[in-house]
Copies of this chain bind each other. A is one copy, B any other.
Amino acid sequence: MKESTSVIKKLEQAKQWVQEAGQFLRENLAEPLEITEKTRYDDLVTNYDKAVQKRIISKILQAYPKDFILAEEDEKKVEFSEQISQLWVLDPIDGTTNFIVQKDDFAIMLAYFENGVGKFGIILDVMNEKLYWSNDHAAFCNEKQLHENVAPLHQSLLAVNAYMYRTNTGGLLDLSHHTLGVRSCGSAGISYTKLLDGKIIGYFSHLQVWDYAAGMIISEKLGFVTKALDGENPHFNGREMVYTVPKRLLGLIQEKMQGSEN
């Protein structure tokens, strides 16, 4: 299947917009933050989440005024739909708590869909200046093509949402006993970069579509699949427990999540 010229052009533009936004964040990291609580004391947004969102949205709409945008910090969000012929999904700062507290381990994520089909994803590990992205046929980190690199489950690590892990939601704790252990870094975007780098074999968390859209699209190029906890495809609306694992280990992983013994 050949990628259309217009999608290739969008991808190149989108990579540049994300890179520029990352540079803006790195240059302003020493400035004081305005921090606002959203739903609860540990659900935070800063003036920089909003500034990055504004910058990227304005670039998209300037170039493609008819496209739709689903962005984390929008008060009124469009709903993800297969009816929308051109839809951008944006997380301006993924891992906002890390951004505030650690000044590290946060990402900018942008994904692009046509009629519900993911065309490309972009994840920028801002502090390490690593841009992960996919086109129609492959995944890349900066200009280097990434390749499938799947170790056996028992020689691998998982990235997990701490709550799901400790409460064994979906059998995640059971599954973890069949691996070398779990890691938790507080950012979906950074977790997906570790998956793409082959550092972890699976990522399990409680996510909104802007948290997993880019990671899902890019990781598909390396043989990963993203599922909701019930084994179905994610529904892309509202917060949902999802996981991304190698397609060829999906059966084994689902078996271990059902608590079958060693």
Contact = CB atoms under 8 A, between A and B. Distances in A.
Interface residues of A, number: 29
How many copies, total?
2
A183 interface: yes
A183 B186 contact: yes
Interface of A: 41-42, 97-98, 100-104, 151, 154-157, 162, 165-166, 173, 180-186, 194, 197, 199-200
Contact of A101 (B102, B156, B173): B156
Contacts of A155: 100-101
A173 B162 CA distance: 11
6 contacts: A97-B157, A101-B156, A104-B199, A162-B182, A166-B166, A184-B184
Contacts of A197: 102
A157 B100 CA distance: 11
Nearest to A102: B199
Nearest to A155: B101
